[in-house]
């Protein structure tokens, strides 16, 4: 079984499209800077307002975000974007299972209560699931890009 290498023209076009995308994002940020900043502040305030008030809930959220970061690293080591999809799916699903259970199968949301935690509202559970997925992305994507860069560097060194 042989693998076909990508031609120089295809790599050039991919690089050119990537450059156009970067410039487009920069232009959009420059044009909509005030709106982007206001939106980021609004999102930050919304998420911050959903931080649990009790100590147990705070510990649970912080621990969950740390686990999300660790899962991002571990799944990055497992390989590529299929693992990324699994990580983005499993982290929020286990979070929902912890807080809400799965009543159709008889799983009551008792783990959080057994841990002495006050129940988070559904909105808060969703907000922190989204934040954890962002954490996974912020950990996984740079690691994956680094691995791609290292593999390319080794291929170029082997070609010499």
Residue 49 has pLDDT above 70, yes or no: yes
Mean pLDDT of 6-25: 79
Residues 6+ apart with CB under 8 A from 91: 67, 68, 71, 129, 132, 133, 136
Q: How confident is the model at residue 6 (pLDDT cuts 50, 70, 90)?
A: low
User: Is 100 contained in some domain?
Assistant: yes
Cα separation, 103 vs 157, whole angstroms: 56
Angstrom distances, CA of residue 93 to CA of 100, 102, 123, 143: 10, 10, 15, 23
Cα separation, 37 vs 122, whole angstroms: 27
**What percentage of residues in the chain have a pLDDT greater than 90?**
0
Strand partners, 107: 102
Mean pLDDT of 75-83: 71
- Kindly report the pTM of this predicted structure: 0.60
Structural domain that includes position 118: 52-159
Cα separation, 69 vs 132, whole angstroms: 8
What is the model's pLDDT at position 2? 47
Q: How confident is the model at residue 7 (pLDDT cuts 50, 70, 90)?
A: low
User: Is 74 contained in some domain?
Assistant: yes
Cα separation, 58 vs 114, whole angstroms: 16
User: Is 12 contained in some domain?
Assistant: no
**What percentage of residues in the chain have a pLDDT greater than 70?**
87
User: Is 104 contained in some domain?
Assistant: yes
Mean pLDDT, rounded, of the chain: 79
Of 9 and 57, the structure prediction assigns the larger pLDDT to 57
Q: What's the pLDDT tens digit per position in 100-115?
A: 777 777 777 667 777 7
- Which of 47-51, 74-78, 128-132 is the most confident on average? 128-132
Mean pLDDT of 34-46: 85
Domains: count for the chain: 1
User: Is 117 contained in some domain?
Assistant: yes
User: Is 98 contained in some domain?
Assistant: yes
User: Is 43 contained in some domain?
Assistant: no
User: Is 4 contained in some domain?
Assistant: no
What is the model's pLDDT at position 31? 83
């Amino acid at each position: 079984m042989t693998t076909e290498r990508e031609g120089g023209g295809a790599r050039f076009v991919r690089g050119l499209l990537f450059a156009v995308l970067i410039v487009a994002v920069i232009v959009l940020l420059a044009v909509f800077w005030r709106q982007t900043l206001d939106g980021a502040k609004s999102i930050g305030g919304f998420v911050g307002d959903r931080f649990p008030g009790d100590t147990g809930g705070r510990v649970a959220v912080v621990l969950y975000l740390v686990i999300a970061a660790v899962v991002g690293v571990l799944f990055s080591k497992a390989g590529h974007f299929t693992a990324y999809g699994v990580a983005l799916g499993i982290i929020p699903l286990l979070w929902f299972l912890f807080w809400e259970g799965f009543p159709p199968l008889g799983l009551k949301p008792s783990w959080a209560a057994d841990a002495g935690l006050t129940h988070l509202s559904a909105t808060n559970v969703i907000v922190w699931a989204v934040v954890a997925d962002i954490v996974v992305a912020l950990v996984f994507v740079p690691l994956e890009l680094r691995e791609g860069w290292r593999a390319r560097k080794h291929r170029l060194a082997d070609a010499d």
